[in-house]
Amino acid sequence: MSYWKEIFEGGWSLVEGMRVTVRRLVQPVVTVQYPRKQLTLSPAFRGHIEFKVFPEIGTHRCIACGTCQRTCPSGVIKVQGIKDHARAPKVATHYMIDFTRCSLCGLCVECCPTQTLKYSTEYQLEEESRWDGVYDLMARLEERQT
Amino acid sequence: MGSEMASDWIRIIVGLIIVLAFSQVNALFLVWLERKVAGHIQLRYGPMEVGPHGILQTIADGIKLVGKELITPLAADWKLFIIAPVLVFMPVLVAFIVLPFGENLIIRDMNLGVLLIFGFSTLSVLAILAGGWAANNKYALLGAIRSVAQNVAYEIPLLLAVLSVVLMTQSLRFSEIVGAQSRVWFIFLQPVAGLIYLICATAETNRAPFDIPEAESELIAGFHTEYSGMRFGLFFLAEYTNMFIVSAVAAALFFGGWHGPFGLSLGIPGVVWFLAKVYVLLFVIMWVRWTFPRVRFDQLMNFSWKVMLPLSLLNLIVTAAVLKFI
Protein backbone atom coordinates (compact mmCIF):
# COMPACT_ATOMS: atom_id res chain seq x y z
CA MET A 1 0.00 0.00 0.00
CA SER A 2 2.83 2.37 0.83
CA TYR A 3 4.21 1.60 -2.65
CA TRP A 4 1.26 3.40 -4.24
CA LYS A 5 1.29 6.14 -1.63
CA GLU A 6 4.94 6.80 -2.39
CA ILE A 7 4.24 6.97 -6.10
CA PHE A 8 1.36 9.40 -5.71
CA GLU A 9 3.08 11.66 -3.22
CA GLY A 10 6.27 11.65 -5.23
CA GLY A 11 4.40 12.39 -8.41
CA TRP A 12 2.53 15.28 -6.82
CA SER A 13 5.77 16.82 -5.56
CA LEU A 14 7.07 16.75 -9.13
CA VAL A 15 4.03 18.65 -10.32
CA GLU A 16 4.51 21.24 -7.60
CA GLY A 17 8.13 21.65 -8.62
CA MET A 18 7.15 22.27 -12.18
CA ARG A 19 4.62 24.84 -11.08
CA VAL A 20 7.41 26.76 -9.33
CA THR A 21 9.56 26.82 -12.44
CA VAL A 22 6.82 27.84 -14.80
CA ARG A 23 6.01 30.78 -12.58
CA ARG A 24 9.67 31.76 -12.71
CA LEU A 25 9.53 31.50 -16.49
CA VAL A 26 7.01 34.30 -16.82
CA GLN A 27 8.49 36.55 -14.15
CA PRO A 28 10.58 39.49 -15.35
CA VAL A 29 14.27 38.81 -15.60
CA VAL A 30 16.55 40.24 -12.91
CA THR A 31 19.54 40.80 -15.18
CA VAL A 32 20.54 44.39 -15.96
CA GLN A 33 22.28 44.44 -19.29
CA TYR A 34 25.29 46.56 -18.34
CA PRO A 35 26.65 48.71 -20.00
CA ARG A 36 23.56 49.36 -22.10
CA LYS A 37 21.48 49.88 -18.97
CA GLN A 38 22.81 51.05 -15.64
CA LEU A 39 21.62 50.33 -12.14
CA THR A 40 20.82 53.20 -9.79
CA LEU A 41 22.99 52.74 -6.73
CA SER A 42 21.57 52.76 -3.25
CA PRO A 43 22.76 55.45 -0.80
CA ALA A 44 24.52 52.75 1.23
CA PHE A 45 26.87 51.91 -1.64
CA ARG A 46 30.53 51.89 -0.63
CA GLY A 47 32.71 53.41 -3.32
CA HIS A 48 36.14 54.90 -2.55
CA ILE A 49 36.19 57.60 0.11
CA GLU A 50 35.98 61.27 -0.74
CA PHE A 51 35.67 64.55 1.07
CA LYS A 52 32.23 65.76 2.10
CA VAL A 53 31.48 69.37 1.24
CA PHE A 54 29.80 71.13 4.15
CA PRO A 55 27.27 73.73 2.93
CA GLU A 56 28.02 76.13 5.81
CA ILE A 57 31.65 76.62 4.91
CA GLY A 58 31.57 75.43 1.30
CA THR A 59 34.50 73.06 1.66
CA HIS A 60 35.74 70.10 3.65
CA ARG A 61 36.56 69.97 7.35
CA CYS A 62 39.69 67.79 7.32
CA ILE A 63 42.06 68.85 10.08
CA ALA A 64 44.86 66.43 9.09
CA CYS A 65 44.74 64.75 12.51
CA GLY A 66 45.92 61.47 10.97
CA THR A 67 43.37 59.28 12.78
CA CYS A 68 42.26 57.71 9.53
CA GLN A 69 45.88 57.07 8.56
CA ARG A 70 46.54 55.31 11.86
CA THR A 71 43.26 53.39 11.86
CA CYS A 72 43.42 52.07 8.32
CA PRO A 73 44.19 48.33 8.56
CA SER A 74 45.67 48.26 5.07
CA GLY A 75 47.73 51.42 5.57
CA VAL A 76 46.64 53.05 2.34
CA ILE A 77 45.97 56.61 3.54
CA LYS A 78 48.57 59.36 3.70
CA VAL A 79 47.63 62.75 5.11
CA GLN A 80 49.71 65.86 5.46
CA GLY A 81 48.68 69.23 6.84
CA ILE A 82 50.05 72.58 7.99
CA LYS A 83 49.33 74.99 10.73
CA ASP A 84 49.21 78.63 9.83
CA HIS A 85 50.55 79.74 13.17
CA ALA A 86 50.69 78.34 16.71
CA ARG A 87 47.33 77.40 18.22
CA ALA A 88 45.71 77.58 14.78
CA PRO A 89 43.71 74.62 13.52
CA LYS A 90 45.58 72.32 11.15
CA VAL A 91 44.46 72.29 7.51
CA ALA A 92 45.11 69.40 5.21
CA THR A 93 47.41 70.03 2.26
CA HIS A 94 47.74 66.51 0.83
CA TYR A 95 45.42 63.54 1.10
CA MET A 96 46.30 60.43 -0.88
CA ILE A 97 44.64 57.04 -0.76
CA ASP A 98 45.97 53.98 -2.62
CA PHE A 99 42.63 52.59 -3.70
CA THR A 100 44.17 49.46 -5.23
CA ARG A 101 44.65 48.15 -1.70
CA CYS A 102 41.63 49.63 0.06
CA SER A 103 39.30 46.96 1.44
CA LEU A 104 36.28 49.29 1.83
CA CYS A 105 36.09 48.44 5.54
CA GLY A 106 34.87 51.96 6.40
CA LEU A 107 36.97 52.40 9.54
CA CYS A 108 38.31 55.71 8.25
CA VAL A 109 34.79 57.08 7.74
CA GLU A 110 33.78 55.91 11.21
CA CYS A 111 36.74 57.34 13.06
CA CYS A 112 36.99 60.75 11.37
CA PRO A 113 36.40 63.31 14.16
CA THR A 114 35.00 65.95 11.84
CA GLN A 115 32.89 63.57 9.77
CA THR A 116 34.58 64.84 6.65
CA LEU A 117 35.01 61.48 4.92
CA LYS A 118 32.18 59.74 3.10
CA TYR A 119 31.74 56.99 0.56
CA SER A 120 31.36 57.96 -3.08
CA THR A 121 29.15 56.14 -5.57
CA GLU A 122 31.80 55.66 -8.23
CA TYR A 123 32.32 52.14 -9.51
CA GLN A 124 33.50 52.72 -13.07
CA LEU A 125 37.14 53.12 -12.14
CA GLU A 126 39.25 52.04 -15.09
CA GLU A 127 42.86 53.19 -15.12
CA GLU A 128 45.73 52.39 -17.39
CA SER A 129 48.35 51.61 -14.81
CA ARG A 130 48.45 50.53 -11.19
CA TRP A 131 49.83 53.88 -10.09
CA ASP A 132 46.75 55.67 -11.38
CA GLY A 133 44.86 53.94 -8.60
CA VAL A 134 46.39 56.32 -6.06
CA TYR A 135 43.73 58.99 -5.67
CA ASP A 136 44.37 62.55 -4.59
CA LEU A 137 41.24 63.46 -2.69
CA MET A 138 41.92 67.19 -2.62
CA ALA A 139 42.30 67.31 -6.40
CA ARG A 140 39.10 65.32 -6.76
CA LEU A 141 37.31 67.74 -4.47
CA GLU A 142 38.45 70.65 -6.61
CA GLU A 143 37.25 68.84 -9.74
CA ARG A 144 33.88 68.27 -8.17
CA GLN A 145 33.55 71.84 -7.08
CA THR A 146 34.21 73.26 -10.53
CA MET B 1 12.90 1.88 -67.10
CA GLY B 2 15.89 4.18 -67.01
CA SER B 3 13.80 7.30 -66.40
CA GLU B 4 11.91 5.53 -63.63
CA MET B 5 15.10 4.69 -61.87
CA ALA B 6 16.38 8.21 -62.41
CA SER B 7 13.22 9.77 -60.97
CA ASP B 8 13.46 7.36 -58.04
CA TRP B 9 17.02 8.45 -57.38
CA ILE B 10 16.08 12.11 -57.68
CA ARG B 11 13.26 11.59 -55.19
CA ILE B 12 15.62 9.84 -52.78
CA ILE B 13 18.24 12.59 -53.00
CA VAL B 14 15.75 15.43 -52.67
CA GLY B 15 14.11 13.69 -49.73
CA LEU B 16 17.46 13.18 -48.07
CA ILE B 17 18.37 16.84 -48.51
CA ILE B 18 15.05 17.97 -47.08
CA VAL B 19 15.35 15.65 -44.07
CA LEU B 20 18.93 16.74 -43.38
CA ALA B 21 18.05 20.40 -43.72
CA PHE B 22 15.04 20.03 -41.48
CA SER B 23 16.96 18.20 -38.79
CA GLN B 24 19.77 20.79 -38.83
CA VAL B 25 17.41 23.77 -38.64
CA ASN B 26 15.43 22.00 -35.96
CA ALA B 27 18.53 21.31 -33.87
CA LEU B 28 19.60 24.94 -34.35
CA PHE B 29 16.26 26.17 -33.09
CA LEU B 30 16.11 23.69 -30.23
CA VAL B 31 19.54 24.57 -28.86
CA TRP B 32 18.55 28.25 -28.87
CA LEU B 33 15.17 27.47 -27.28
CA GLU B 34 16.81 25.37 -24.59
CA ARG B 35 19.20 28.14 -23.65
CA LYS B 36 16.43 30.74 -23.59
CA VAL B 37 14.10 28.55 -21.53
CA ALA B 38 16.93 27.71 -19.15
CA GLY B 39 17.76 31.39 -18.85
CA HIS B 40 14.25 32.60 -18.13
CA ILE B 41 13.57 29.84 -15.63
CA GLN B 42 16.72 31.01 -13.84
CA LEU B 43 15.51 34.64 -14.07
CA ARG B 44 18.17 35.65 -16.58
CA TYR B 45 18.16 36.34 -20.31
CA GLY B 46 20.08 33.56 -22.03
CA PRO B 47 21.86 34.43 -25.30
CA MET B 48 21.11 38.02 -26.39
CA GLU B 49 24.15 39.24 -28.30
CA VAL B 50 24.44 37.29 -31.55
CA GLY B 51 21.45 38.23 -33.66
CA PRO B 52 18.17 39.56 -32.24
CA HIS B 53 17.63 37.84 -28.89
CA GLY B 54 20.50 35.50 -29.62
CA ILE B 55 18.87 33.59 -32.48
CA LEU B 56 22.14 33.22 -34.37
CA GLN B 57 24.00 31.96 -31.29
CA THR B 58 23.81 28.33 -32.36
CA ILE B 59 25.29 29.16 -35.75
CA ALA B 60 28.18 30.87 -34.01
CA ASP B 61 28.61 27.80 -31.81
CA GLY B 62 28.57 25.58 -34.88
CA ILE B 63 31.25 27.66 -36.58
CA LYS B 64 33.34 27.48 -33.42
CA LEU B 65 32.99 23.70 -33.27
CA VAL B 66 33.91 23.29 -36.92
CA GLY B 67 37.07 25.29 -36.38
CA LYS B 68 38.31 23.16 -33.50
CA GLU B 69 41.03 20.58 -33.78
CA LEU B 70 39.80 16.99 -34.05
CA ILE B 71 41.84 15.23 -31.38
CA THR B 72 42.10 11.45 -31.36
CA PRO B 73 43.71 10.05 -28.21
CA LEU B 74 46.89 8.11 -28.87
CA ALA B 75 45.81 4.76 -27.46
CA ALA B 76 42.25 5.01 -28.70
CA ASP B 77 40.72 2.60 -31.15
CA TRP B 78 40.64 5.18 -33.94
CA LYS B 79 38.35 3.36 -36.32
CA LEU B 80 35.58 3.01 -33.74
CA PHE B 81 36.36 6.43 -32.33
CA ILE B 82 35.81 8.18 -35.64
CA ILE B 83 32.76 6.18 -36.72
CA ALA B 84 30.87 6.40 -33.40
CA PRO B 85 29.44 9.95 -33.78
CA VAL B 86 28.27 9.15 -37.29
CA LEU B 87 26.66 5.94 -36.08
CA VAL B 88 24.83 7.85 -33.35
CA PHE B 89 23.40 10.33 -35.83
CA MET B 90 22.33 8.06 -38.68
CA PRO B 91 19.54 5.97 -37.08
CA VAL B 92 17.96 9.16 -35.84
CA LEU B 93 17.70 10.43 -39.42
CA VAL B 94 16.09 7.19 -40.57
CA ALA B 95 13.25 7.73 -38.13
CA PHE B 96 12.14 10.80 -40.11
CA ILE B 97 10.93 8.54 -42.89
CA VAL B 98 7.83 7.37 -41.07
CA LEU B 99 6.85 10.44 -39.04
CA PRO B 100 3.29 11.58 -39.85
CA PHE B 101 3.70 15.28 -40.39
CA GLY B 102 0.34 15.66 -42.02
CA GLU B 103 -2.37 13.62 -43.66
CA ASN B 104 -0.42 13.13 -46.87
CA LEU B 105 2.93 14.21 -45.52
CA ILE B 106 4.60 10.96 -44.56
CA ILE B 107 7.69 10.10 -46.56
CA ARG B 108 6.90 6.37 -46.49
CA ASP B 109 3.81 5.24 -44.67
CA MET B 110 5.22 1.84 -43.74
CA ASN B 111 2.96 -0.73 -42.16
CA LEU B 112 5.67 -1.25 -39.53
CA GLY B 113 6.33 2.44 -38.92
CA VAL B 114 6.37 2.31 -35.12
CA LEU B 115 8.66 -0.69 -35.09
CA LEU B 116 11.10 0.99 -37.46
CA ILE B 117 11.56 3.98 -35.19
CA PHE B 118 12.20 1.97 -32.06
CA GLY B 119 14.39 -0.52 -33.86
CA PHE B 120 16.66 2.17 -35.20
CA SER B 121 16.79 4.14 -31.97
CA THR B 122 18.32 1.09 -30.31
CA LEU B 123 21.16 1.22 -32.82
CA SER B 124 22.34 4.55 -31.52
CA VAL B 125 22.77 2.99 -28.07
CA LEU B 126 25.34 0.65 -29.59
CA ALA B 127 27.12 3.62 -31.09
CA ILE B 128 27.31 5.34 -27.69
CA LEU B 129 28.94 2.21 -26.27
CA ALA B 130 31.38 2.17 -29.17
CA GLY B 131 32.26 5.80 -28.60
CA GLY B 132 32.79 5.36 -24.89
CA TRP B 133 34.92 2.25 -25.31
CA ALA B 134 37.01 3.55 -28.17
CA ALA B 135 38.07 6.66 -26.26
CA ASN B 136 40.34 4.62 -24.00
CA ASN B 137 39.21 6.64 -21.02
CA LYS B 138 37.77 5.05 -17.89
CA TYR B 139 35.34 7.92 -17.37
CA ALA B 140 34.06 7.67 -20.92
CA LEU B 141 33.69 3.91 -20.57
CA LEU B 142 31.76 4.21 -17.33
CA GLY B 143 29.54 6.86 -18.86
CA ALA B 144 28.89 4.66 -21.88
CA ILE B 145 28.12 1.62 -19.74
CA ARG B 146 25.69 3.58 -17.63
CA SER B 147 24.07 4.99 -20.75
CA VAL B 148 23.57 1.52 -22.21
CA ALA B 149 22.14 0.18 -18.96
CA GLN B 150 19.78 3.13 -18.72
CA ASN B 151 18.66 2.86 -22.32
CA VAL B 152 18.01 -0.86 -22.12
CA ALA B 153 16.15 -0.53 -18.84
CA TYR B 154 13.84 2.22 -20.07
CA GLU B 155 13.25 0.70 -23.49
CA ILE B 156 10.96 -1.98 -22.06
CA PRO B 157 8.34 0.18 -20.34
CA LEU B 158 8.51 2.49 -23.37
CA LEU B 159 7.63 -0.29 -25.73
CA LEU B 160 4.94 -1.63 -23.42
CA ALA B 161 3.31 1.79 -23.29
CA VAL B 162 3.40 2.00 -27.08
CA LEU B 163 2.04 -1.53 -27.23
CA SER B 164 -1.02 -0.48 -25.26
CA VAL B 165 -1.81 2.09 -27.95
CA VAL B 166 -1.10 -0.39 -30.72
CA LEU B 167 -3.46 -2.89 -29.09
CA MET B 168 -6.20 -0.30 -29.34
CA THR B 169 -5.65 0.48 -33.00
CA GLN B 170 -4.47 -2.99 -34.04
CA SER B 171 -1.97 -1.45 -36.41
CA LEU B 172 1.63 -0.32 -36.37
CA ARG B 173 1.05 2.09 -39.24
CA PHE B 174 1.30 5.72 -38.20
CA SER B 175 -1.40 7.01 -40.51
CA GLU B 176 -3.90 4.57 -39.08
CA ILE B 177 -2.98 5.30 -35.48
CA VAL B 178 -3.32 9.04 -36.02
CA GLY B 179 -6.49 8.52 -38.04
CA ALA B 180 -8.05 6.62 -35.13
CA GLN B 181 -7.68 9.73 -32.94
CA SER B 182 -10.00 11.94 -34.93
CA ARG B 183 -12.56 12.13 -32.10
CA VAL B 184 -10.62 11.58 -28.90
CA TRP B 185 -6.89 11.72 -28.45
CA PHE B 186 -5.34 8.62 -26.96
CA ILE B 187 -3.88 10.60 -24.06
CA PHE B 188 -7.40 10.72 -22.60
CA LEU B 189 -7.97 7.02 -23.16
CA GLN B 190 -4.54 5.93 -21.98
CA PRO B 191 -3.19 8.58 -19.58
CA VAL B 192 -0.93 6.15 -17.72
CA ALA B 193 0.62 4.90 -20.93
CA GLY B 194 1.16 8.48 -22.07
CA LEU B 195 2.90 9.44 -18.85
CA ILE B 196 5.05 6.31 -18.92
CA TYR B 197 5.96 7.03 -22.52
CA LEU B 198 7.02 10.59 -21.78
CA ILE B 199 9.12 9.59 -18.78
CA CYS B 200 10.81 6.74 -20.63
CA ALA B 201 11.38 8.96 -23.66
CA THR B 202 13.31 11.48 -21.57
CA ALA B 203 15.35 8.60 -20.17
CA GLU B 204 15.96 7.17 -23.63
CA THR B 205 17.33 10.43 -25.00
CA ASN B 206 19.61 10.82 -21.96
CA ARG B 207 17.89 14.04 -20.93
CA ALA B 208 17.75 15.37 -17.42
CA PRO B 209 16.83 14.29 -14.87
CA PHE B 210 18.19 11.08 -16.37
CA ASP B 211 21.34 12.49 -17.88
CA ILE B 212 23.98 10.76 -15.75
CA PRO B 213 25.85 9.45 -18.82
CA GLU B 214 26.58 12.88 -20.21
CA ALA B 215 26.28 15.20 -17.27
CA GLU B 216 28.88 17.92 -17.00
CA SER B 217 29.67 17.35 -13.38
CA GLU B 218 29.55 13.58 -13.28
CA LEU B 219 32.39 11.60 -14.79
CA ILE B 220 33.89 14.70 -16.41
CA ALA B 221 31.57 14.62 -19.41
CA GLY B 222 30.49 11.01 -19.65
CA PHE B 223 30.86 9.16 -22.88
CA HIS B 224 31.77 12.18 -24.98
CA THR B 225 34.70 13.26 -22.78
CA GLU B 226 37.35 12.68 -25.42
CA TYR B 227 35.46 14.13 -28.34
CA SER B 228 36.28 17.60 -29.62
CA GLY B 229 35.07 19.82 -32.39
CA MET B 230 32.49 18.63 -34.83
CA ARG B 231 32.45 15.05 -33.47
CA PHE B 232 31.11 16.43 -30.23
CA GLY B 233 28.78 18.59 -32.28
CA LEU B 234 27.41 15.46 -33.94
CA PHE B 235 26.61 13.85 -30.57
CA PHE B 236 24.87 17.03 -29.57
CA LEU B 237 22.95 17.21 -32.85
CA ALA B 238 21.94 13.57 -32.53
CA GLU B 239 20.61 14.17 -29.04
CA TYR B 240 18.41 17.09 -30.07
CA THR B 241 17.15 15.33 -33.18
CA ASN B 242 16.38 12.28 -31.06
CA MET B 243 14.39 14.52 -28.73
CA PHE B 244 12.42 15.74 -31.73
CA ILE B 245 11.74 12.18 -32.88
CA VAL B 246 10.43 10.95 -29.53
CA SER B 247 8.26 14.05 -29.16
CA ALA B 248 6.93 13.55 -32.66
CA VAL B 249 6.10 9.93 -31.87
CA ALA B 250 4.39 11.03 -28.66
CA ALA B 251 2.40 13.64 -30.57
CA ALA B 252 1.37 11.06 -33.14
CA LEU B 253 0.58 8.24 -30.73
CA PHE B 254 -1.01 10.12 -27.86
CA PHE B 255 -1.82 13.67 -28.79
CA GLY B 256 -3.72 13.25 -32.03
CA GLY B 257 -1.00 13.88 -34.62
CA TRP B 258 -2.31 16.19 -37.29
CA HIS B 259 -5.84 16.52 -35.81
CA GLY B 260 -6.96 19.59 -33.98
CA PRO B 261 -8.80 19.32 -30.66
CA PHE B 262 -12.00 17.27 -30.87
CA GLY B 263 -11.30 16.67 -34.54
CA LEU B 264 -11.86 20.30 -35.55
CA SER B 265 -9.08 21.68 -37.65
CA LEU B 266 -10.15 25.34 -37.25
CA GLY B 267 -8.81 26.08 -40.72
CA ILE B 268 -5.22 25.39 -39.64
CA PRO B 269 -3.42 22.77 -41.76
CA GLY B 270 -2.57 19.47 -40.09
CA VAL B 271 1.19 20.06 -40.35
CA VAL B 272 0.90 23.13 -38.18
CA TRP B 273 -1.07 21.25 -35.52
CA PHE B 274 1.47 18.44 -35.54
CA LEU B 275 4.49 20.72 -35.29
CA ALA B 276 2.81 22.81 -32.60
CA LYS B 277 2.22 19.70 -30.51
CA VAL B 278 5.77 18.49 -31.04
CA TYR B 279 7.25 21.79 -29.96
CA VAL B 280 4.99 22.04 -26.92
CA LEU B 281 6.17 18.57 -25.89
CA LEU B 282 9.76 19.61 -26.47
CA PHE B 283 9.19 22.66 -24.30
CA VAL B 284 7.82 20.37 -21.57
CA ILE B 285 10.94 18.19 -21.81
CA MET B 286 13.13 21.26 -21.44
CA TRP B 287 11.02 22.57 -18.57
CA VAL B 288 11.48 19.24 -16.77
CA ARG B 289 15.23 19.42 -17.32
CA TRP B 290 15.57 22.77 -15.61
CA THR B 291 13.27 21.87 -12.72
CA PHE B 292 14.54 18.64 -11.30
CA PRO B 293 17.92 17.56 -9.97
CA ARG B 294 19.71 14.67 -11.56
CA VAL B 295 18.63 11.20 -10.49
CA ARG B 296 21.32 8.96 -8.99
CA PHE B 297 22.13 5.96 -11.11
CA ASP B 298 20.82 3.31 -8.71
CA GLN B 299 17.66 5.35 -8.17
CA LEU B 300 17.30 5.52 -11.93
CA MET B 301 17.54 1.77 -12.40
CA ASN B 302 15.28 1.08 -9.43
CA PHE B 303 12.69 3.42 -10.84
CA SER B 304 12.71 1.67 -14.18
CA TRP B 305 12.61 -1.93 -13.02
CA LYS B 306 10.45 -1.53 -9.93
CA VAL B 307 8.02 1.21 -10.88
CA MET B 308 7.88 1.78 -14.63
CA LEU B 309 7.88 -1.85 -15.70
CA PRO B 310 5.12 -3.10 -13.35
CA LEU B 311 2.98 -0.05 -14.11
CA SER B 312 3.31 -0.46 -17.84
CA LEU B 313 2.59 -4.19 -17.62
CA LEU B 314 -0.47 -3.47 -15.51
CA ASN B 315 -1.60 -0.86 -18.02
CA LEU B 316 -1.20 -3.35 -20.86
CA ILE B 317 -3.19 -6.02 -19.03
CA VAL B 318 -5.97 -3.57 -18.18
CA THR B 319 -6.09 -2.35 -21.79
CA ALA B 320 -6.26 -5.88 -23.08
CA ALA B 321 -8.99 -6.82 -20.60
CA VAL B 322 -11.04 -3.72 -21.44
CA LEU B 323 -10.68 -4.34 -25.18
CA LYS B 324 -11.68 -7.95 -24.80
CA PHE B 325 -14.72 -7.50 -22.63
CA ILE B 326 -16.11 -4.16 -23.83
DSSP letters along B250-314, please? Answer: HHHHTS-TT--GGG--TT--HHHHHHHHHHHHHHHHHHHHTTSPPPPHHHHHHIIIIIIHHHHHH
Residues B242 and B265 placed together within one structural domain of the fold: yes
CB spacing of A24 vs B43 below 8 angstroms: yes
Distance from CA of A47 to the nearest CA of B (A): 27
Residue A117 · residue A138 · CB < 8 Å = no
Residues B208 and B276 placed together within one structural domain of the fold: yes
Tens digits of residue pLDDT in B85-129: 888 888 988 999 899 998 888 888 888 999 999 999 888 888 888
Closest residue in chain B to residue A20, using alpha carbons only? B291
Q: Which of B175, B253, B184, B237 is nearest to B26 (CA)?
A: B237
Residues B228 and B267 placed together within one structural domain of the fold: yes
Residues B176 and B307 placed together within one structural domain of the fold: yes
Tens digits of residue pLDDT in B134-191: 888 888 888 888 889 999 999 999 999 999 999 999 999 999 999 999 888 999 999 9
Contacts of B285 (CB under 8 A, 6+ apart): B198, B201, B202, B207, B243, B247
Residues B190 and B317 placed together within one structural domain of the fold: yes
- Residue B17 in this model has a pLDDT that exceeds 90: yes
Residues B255 and B174 placed together within one structural domain of the fold: yes
Q: What is the CA radius of gyration of chain B?
A: 20
Closest residue in chain A to residue B288, using alpha carbons only? A18
Domain end among B44, B67, B90: B67
Identify the sign of the CA torsion B245, B249, B255, B259. positive
Domain end among B43, B67, B91: B67
Residues B6 and B115 placed together within one structural domain of the fold: no
d(CA B307, CA B157): 10
Domain end among B13, B41, B67: B67
Residues B79 and B228 placed together within one structural domain of the fold: yes
CB spacing of B287 vs A18 below 8 angstroms: yes
Interface test mutation site (partner B, options A16, A29, A36, max chain B beta carbons within 10 A): A29
Residues B321 and B179 placed together within one structural domain of the fold: yes
Q: What is the CA radius of gyration of chain A?
A: 26
CB spacing of A18 vs B288 below 8 angstroms: yes
pTM of the model: 0.86
- What pLDDT shows up at residue B283? 94
| H or E element in which residue B125 lies | helix B113-134
Q: Which of B315, B296, B310, B311 is nearest to B146 (CA)?
A: B296
Q: Which chain B residues are within 8 Å of A29, Cβ to Cβ?
A: 39-40, 43-45
Residues B113 and B43 placed together within one structural domain of the fold: no
CB spacing of A17 vs B287 below 8 angstroms: no
pLDDT tens-place values along chain A, 146 residues long:
888 898 889 889 999 999 999 999 889 999 888 888 888 888 888 888 889 889 998 888 899 999 999 999 999 999 999 998 988 888 889 999 998 898 989 899 999 999 999 998 888 888 899 888 888 888 888 888 88
Number of domains in chain B: 2
- Residue B287 in this model has a pLDDT that exceeds 80: yes
CB spacing of B40 vs A25 below 8 angstroms: yes
Distance from CA of B124 to the nearest CA of A (A): 30
Interface test mutation site (partner A, options B34, B35, B42, max chain A beta carbons within 10 A): B42
- Residue B218 in this model has a pLDDT that exceeds 70: no
- Residue B219 in this model has a pLDDT that exceeds 60: no
Residues B21 and B107 placed together within one structural domain of the fold: no
* pLDDT band at residue B220 under the 50/70/90 scheme: low
Distance from CA of A22 to the nearest CA of B (A): 7
Residues B228 and B302 placed together within one structural domain of the fold: yes
- Residue B48 in this model has a pLDDT that exceeds 80: yes
d(CA B145, CA A67): 68
- Residue B240 in this model has a pLDDT that exceeds 80: yes
**What mean pLDDT, rounded, does chain B reach?**
88
DSSP letters along A97-142, please? Answer: EETTS-----HHHHH-TT--EEE--------SSGGGGEEEHHHHHH
Query: Which residues 286-305 of chain B have a CB within 8 Å of chain A?
Result: 287-288, 290-292
d(CA B253, CA B189): 11
Residue B135 · residue B76 · CB < 8 Å = yes
Q: Which chain B residues are within 8 Å of A24, Cβ to Cβ?
A: 40-43
CB spacing of B48 vs A33 below 8 angstroms: yes
ipTM comes to 0.76
Residue B303 sits in which domain range?
75-325
CB spacing of A18 vs B45 below 8 angstroms: no
Interface test mutation site (partner B, options A5, A8, A18, max chain B beta carbons within 10 A): A18
Give the domains, in start order, of chain A with CATH numbers: 49-145 (3.30.70.3270)
